[in-house]
């Protein structure tokens, strides 16, 4: 197992490296001189060159990248161009909210999707099944930002039951306040995943109930509830675990849009801000972290999978 994990990490490294190389190349190709954007425009050419040199921007791109990589592996992600804060600090402030949002969304999605998928499968071709299939497609089809705006309109502006946006009310530090702010963005972010997981659970369940061991269970007189929830569901959930890892990039991508709609102070908005400000160090830092998170998520999925299914032995 340990050996397998090591091997997986070794395979993952080039992927992370590849992502950062692509990002660095693209970023260095971005038009507009960052120094012009940073300092007052009437600065002398000499002062600008001086600044460029300080930032290391006068060197060839591969060298810049190598230096960035060298410092990054030591944990130094550089300083933000915008306010000279360390990148790690800026990202650190934003990781928490994004994780809170994504994990809540993931939780909501799975809590709703798995029961619905199971019922669809056990009552195949019923009104239930039909309805939930349609709803699952609705979930993956509705644009997150449109749903978000719609929810804001209904629950915040018309019914006044939830706050419009942000993560906390000014000067309020209670958990209840945080949850009230969290509800709408988490629901919006969860909808797409919910649709996908529902469909996946359903088809996985349909596969399992045709297996011999289910027939055996029925034959020896296990009640229908026991068959479905003990014998079938546990086996049907195995492939659903795989989906967990696959959904992670989608969730992080969805977070960018959801955070923009709800002014959620997470990494997604940081990315957008960094792009509009040409804040390369922050952009590289968030890309690196995202890649690491996605790879780690995939790894975690594999470990979970082997823990849940003893038949799987890694070698």
Partner 1 sequence: MSGAVDMRPSNEPTPPNEPKPSTEPKPAPNQAENSDQVKHNVLRRFLRHKLAVTGFVLLALLVLLAVFAPYVAPHDPNFVDPVSMDDSPSRLHPFGLDTVGRDVLSRVIVASRISLSVGVVAVGIYVIIGSVLGSLAGYFGGVLDVLLTRVCDTVLSFPQIVLIIVIVGVIGPSIWNIMVVLGLLGWPQIFRIVRGQFLSLREQDFVQAGRAMGARDGRLIFRHVLPNSMGPILVAATFGTASAILTEAALSYLGLGVQPPQASWGNLLIQAQSITVIEQQPWLWVPPGMLIFVSVLAINFVGDGLRDALDPRLKL
For 203-208, which contacts have Cβ atoms below 8 Å and span 24 or more sequence positions?
203/121, 204/117, 204/236, 204/237, 204/238, 204/239, 204/240, 205/117, 205/118, 205/120, 205/121, 205/122, 205/232, 205/233, 205/236, 206/121, 206/124, 207/236, 208/232, 208/235, 208/236
Among positions 193-212, residues that touch partner 1 (CB under 8 A) are 199-200, 203, 207
CB of 226 to partner 1, least distance (A): 26
Which tokens hold the place of 291? Answer: 């890649």
- Nearest Cα to Cα of residue 215 among 232, 201, 202: 232
Binder to partner 1 among 22, 47, 111, 161 (CB under 8 A)?
Answer: 22
The residue range among 53-61, 70-78, 117-125, 143-151 that interacts with partner 1, by the rule CB under 8 A, is 143-151
Is 126 one of the binding residues for partner 1 (CB under 8 A)?
no
Is 13 one of the binding residues for partner 1 (CB under 8 A)?
no
Is 153 one of the binding residues for partner 1 (CB under 8 A)?
yes
Beta bridge partners of 86: 79
Is 78 one of the binding residues for partner 1 (CB under 8 A)?
no
Q: Residue 235 or 287: which CB sits closer to partner 1? A: 287
Among positions 158-177, residues that touch partner 1 (CB under 8 A) are 164
The residue range among 35-43, 90-98, 224-232, 252-260 that interacts with partner 1, by the rule CB under 8 A, is 252-260
Start-end of H helices in 30-126: 34-38, 45-55, 61-73, 87-122
CB of 9 to partner 1, least distance (A): 14
The residue range among 12-20, 44-52, 180-188, 222-230 that interacts with partner 1, by the rule CB under 8 A, is 12-20
Burial annotation 118-157 (CB, 10 A radius, 16+ → b, else e) = bbbbbeeeeeebeebbeebeebeebebeebbeebbeebbe
What are φ and ψ of residue 79, in 5° steps?
-120, 145
**How many chain residues are in contact with partner 1, going by CB under 8 A?**
50
Is 39 one of the binding residues for partner 1 (CB under 8 A)?
no
- Nearest Cα to Cα of residue 214 among 287, 120, 122: 122
Which tokens hold the place of 187? Answer: 């629901």
CB of 152 to partner 1, least distance (A): 6
Binder to partner 1 among 142, 183, 238, 303 (CB under 8 A)?
Answer: 142
Binder to partner 1 among 114, 283, 301, 302 (CB under 8 A)?
Answer: 283
Name the burial class of residue 254, with classes exposed (0-12), middle (13-18) and buried (19+) by CB atoms within 10 angstroms of its CB.
buried
Is 307 one of the binding residues for partner 1 (CB under 8 A)?
no
Is 37 one of the binding residues for partner 1 (CB under 8 A)?
no
Taking the C-alpha atoms of residue 290 and residue 295, their distance in angstroms, rounded to an integer, is 9
CB of 64 to partner 1, least distance (A): 16
Q: Are 116 and 132 in contact (CB under 8 A)?
A: yes
Is 19 one of the binding residues for partner 1 (CB under 8 A)?
yes
- Name the site residues for partner 1 (rule: CB under 8 A): 14-15, 18-19, 22-23, 26-27, 29-31, 133-134, 137-138, 140-146, 149-150, 152-153, 157, 164, 199-200, 203, 207, 249-250, 252-253, 256-257, 260, 271-272, 275, 283, 286-287, 290-291, 294-295, 298
């Amino acid at each position: 197992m340990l050996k397998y994990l090591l091997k997986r990490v070794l395979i993952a490294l080039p992927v992370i490296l590849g992502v950062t190389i692509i990002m660095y190349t693209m970023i260095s190709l971005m038009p507009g001189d960052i120094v012009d954007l940073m300092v007052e425009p009437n600065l002398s050419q000499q002062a600008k060159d001086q600044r460029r040199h300080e930032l290391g921007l006068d060197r060839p791109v591969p060298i810049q990248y190598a230096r960035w990589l060298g410092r990054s592996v030591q944990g130094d992600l550089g300083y933000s161009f915008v306010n000279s804060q360390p990148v790690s600090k800026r990202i650190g402030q934003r990781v928490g909210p994004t994780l809170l949002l994504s994990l809540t969304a993931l939780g909501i999605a799975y809590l709703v999707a798995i029961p619905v998928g199971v019922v669809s499968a056990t009552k195949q071709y019923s009104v239930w099944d039909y309805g939930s299939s349609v709803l699952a497609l609705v979930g993956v089809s509705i644009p997150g930002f449109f749903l978000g705006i719609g929810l804001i309109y209904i629950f915040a502006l018309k019914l006044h039951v939830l706050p419009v946006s942000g993560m906390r009310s000014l000067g309020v530090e209670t958990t209840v306040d945080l949850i009230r702010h969290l509800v709408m963005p988490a629901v919006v972010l969860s909808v797409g995943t919910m649709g996908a997981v529902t469909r996946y659970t359903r088809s996985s369940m349909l596969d399992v109930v045709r297996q011999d061991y289910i027939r055996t269970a029925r034959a020896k007189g296990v009640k229908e509830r026991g068959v479905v929830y003990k014998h079938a569901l546990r086996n049907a959930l195995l492939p659903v675990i795989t989906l967990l890892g696959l959904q992670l990039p989608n969730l992080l991508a969805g977070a960018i849009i959801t955070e923009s709609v709800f002014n959620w102070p997470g990494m997604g908005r940081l990315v957008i801000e960094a792009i509009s400000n040409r804040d390369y160090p922050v952009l590289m830092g968030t890309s690196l972290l995202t890649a690491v998170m996605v790879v780690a998520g995939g790894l975690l999925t594999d470990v979970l999978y082997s823990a849940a299914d003893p038949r799987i032995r890694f070698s």
